[in-house]
């Protein structure tokens, strides 16, 4: 299993709330269509004047990630709506082999 980590920041609470709603209602449910996708966790925290989100998605393989993100699988894959709501974001994602998980 591979965990894909990515971060983005909203400029204010209103945009953060709208981004969170977009994730819950549209973006995250659409990922279930990708063969090899095994779920996601989204973390949120206030950092100064901004709101940071960290998304951890889980995939069975790099090939499954490529189905989501394309050939350059380390590049961030943002929906147009996310680009509208986030002030800035990581251009690249980090990938880790998931070696332990306690659900």
> pLDDT value at position 103?
76
pLDDT tens track for 32-86: 999 999 999 999 999 999 999 999 999 999 999 999 899 999 999 899 999 999 9
> pLDDT value at position 102?
79
Cα–Cα distance between 6 and 88 in angstroms, integer?
12
DSSP codes, 2-47: EEEEEEEEESSHHHHHHHHHHIIIIIHHHHTTSTTEEEEEEEEEEE
Three-state SS at 69:
helix
**Is the pTM for the entire model greater than 0.85?**
yes
On the CB side of 69, how many CA atoms lie within 13 Å of its CA? 27
Domain coordinates of the chain in residue numbers?
2-97
> pLDDT value at position 101?
84
Domain 2-97, what architecture? 2-Layer Sandwich (3.30)
Residue 92 in this model has a pLDDT that exceeds 80: yes
- CA dihedral sign of residues 2, 56, 84, 36: positive
């Amino acid at each position: 299993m591979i965990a894909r980590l990515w971060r983005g920041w909203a400029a204010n609470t209103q945009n953060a709330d709208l981004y969170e709603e977009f994730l819950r209602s549209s973006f995250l449910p659409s990922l279930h269509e990708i063969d090899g996708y095994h779920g996601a966790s989204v973390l949120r925290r206030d950092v100064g004047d901004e709101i940071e989100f960290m998304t951890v998605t889980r995939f069975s393989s790099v090939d499954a990630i490529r189905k989501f993100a394309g050939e350059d699988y380390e590049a961030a894959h943002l929906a147009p709506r996310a680009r509208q709501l986030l002030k800035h974001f990581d251009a690249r994602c980090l990938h880790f082999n998931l070696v332990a998980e306690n659900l």
